[in-house]
Amino acid sequence: MTGKRILVTGGAGFLGSHLCAHLLRTGCEVVCLDNFSTGCEQNLARLKSDRKFEIVRHDVIDPIRIQADQIYNLACPASPVHYQLNPIATIEANVLGARNMLRLAALTGARVLQASTSEVYGDPQMHPQVESYWGHVNPIGPRSCYDEGKRLAETLMMDYHRQQGVAVRIVRIFNTYGPGMAVDDGRVVSNLILQALRNEPLTLFGAGSQTRSFCYVTDLIEGVWKLMNAEGIDGPVNLGNPHEVTIRELAETIISLCGSRSAIVHRPLPHDDPARRRPDITLAMEQLNWRPAVSLTEGLLKTISYFDNLLSSQPMGEHSLAAQGIPEPLARAD
């Protein structure tokens, strides 16, 4: 990989910043493109001294000319609170962003990887979810800006591949967590950990019986990198940890690991919240020789340590929703 020039859109976000760091370790030149609407410059602080790293402040919905060998398109609000705050901007980031990166790839000959999501499966009627499953998605609900935006981005990827010969990769990312997550961004792992560390009630939707499968960030980034550099894979590939837990089990585990005095309280289920979510990763295991290595307990301990240190030094977090005047969300299952 030494000498390759890599463009990462959304590079200041949770996954993007981890990906930028990984690519720099492989010897690449990395250009991070971000409009910093949800990304955080603090995520990139440790990378700025690297001469092979460059930051470009730009919105992916606007065209741009950058020479690159590979393009990782991660730019889009990812937490439910952020992507529902401005749904029009969310779907534009998904659709126009994908189109602009594909046009750039067609112009430069770059390979482009689209960060898609398990949300393309909606509230699935098949369990676990395999890549051939078309999903069960509400096209007009409050989550549609994200769910359908990602589905359309996948469509654009495959059409540019078939019609113009652009080399594409599509990764369907299941719930990912780890150090670097934004404070109070509405994702269940960060919310529950923060509530437990503050000894506040842990809020669950419904009975907490809905399930998710949580993948530690280093495992996910390794899989994304392997997919980008694999040959002969054009269609979507699931990446996630197939270990499935209920949200209530997750909450109880976090309370225990934090040594918290928090109780659990319940709120009504939100609209279109999927009941079950677990990836079938057979394709990734066979084609990429990839499988997650970090257990949920190990990953949660590392994440708890990160948030504990963050709260000690900066109680509300530099990029928290509270700092933006957005009400603190409850711990939904995403």
> CA 136 → CA 129, 154, 261, 270, 285, distances in Å?
11, 16, 39, 17, 25
Q: In terms of domains, do 203 and 225 share one?
A: no
Is 282 domain-assigned? no
Q: What is the pLDDT of residue 328?
A: 38
Q: What is the CATH number of the domain that holds 164?
A: 3.40.50.720
Is 96 domain-assigned? yes
Is 300 domain-assigned? yes
Q: What is the pLDDT of residue 324?
A: 37
Domain that holds residue 28: 5-176+215-239
- Total number of domains constituting the chain: 2
Q: What is the pLDDT of residue 271?
A: 72
Is 207 domain-assigned? yes
Q: In terms of domains, do 128 and 224 share one?
A: yes
List alpha helices for 68-187, DSSP H. 80-85, 87-108, 144-164
Q: What is the pLDDT of residue 272?
A: 67
> Residue 263 CB: number of other CB atoms within 10 A?
10
Q: What are phi and psi of 9, to 5 degrees?
A: -85, 145
Q: In terms of domains, do 170 and 43 share one?
A: yes
Q: In terms of domains, do 25 and 69 share one?
A: yes
Q: In terms of domains, do 85 and 208 share one?
A: no
Name the residue among 117, 68, 135 with its Cα closest to residue 239.
117
Give the integer Cα–Cα distance in Å for 189 and 332: 9
Give the integer Cα–Cα distance in Å for 177 and 74: 16
Query: Between β-strands 202-205 and 176-177, what pairing exists: parallel, antiparallel or unpaired?
Result: unpaired
Q: What is the CATH number of the domain that holds 298?
A: 3.90.25.10
Is 285 domain-assigned? no
Question: Residue 272 belongs to what H/E stretch?
Answer: none
Q: In terms of domains, do 74 and 150 share one?
A: yes
Q: What is the 3-state secondary structure (H, E, C) of 181-229?
A: CCCCCCCHHHHHHHHHHCCCCEEEECCCCCEEECEEHHHHHHHHHHHHH
Q: What is the pLDDT of residue 186?
A: 81
Q: In terms of domains, do 192 and 58 share one?
A: no
Is 32 domain-assigned? yes
Q: In terms of domains, do 56 and 97 share one?
A: yes
Output the CA torsion sign for 195, 196, 198, 199: positive
Is 187 domain-assigned? yes
Write out the two tokens for 93: 């980031």
Give the integer Cα–Cα distance in Å for 275 and 212: 9
Is 286 domain-assigned? no
Give the integer Cα–Cα distance in Å for 230 and 106: 19
pLDDT averages per 10-residue partition of the chain, 334 residues: 90 96 96 93 93 96 96 89 85 96 97 97 93 94 92 98 97 96 86 96 91 97 98 95 96 97 90 85 98 98 96 60 38 45
Q: In terms of domains, do 228 and 84 share one?
A: yes
Q: What is the pLDDT of residue 1?
A: 67
Mapping DSSP to helix (H, G, I), strand (E, B) and coil, where does residue 167 land? coil
The DSSP secondary-structure symbol of 117 reads: E
Question: Residue 299 belongs to what H/E stretch?
Answer: helix 296-313
Q: In terms of domains, do 168 and 191 share one?
A: no
Q: In terms of domains, do 31 and 166 share one?
A: yes
Q: In terms of domains, do 209 and 233 share one?
A: no
CB-CB contact of 285 with 210 (8 Å): no
Q: Which residues are catalytic?
A: 146
> CA 168 → CA 22, 30, 223, 263, distances in Å?
20, 19, 16, 46
Q: What is the pLDDT of residue 81?
A: 78
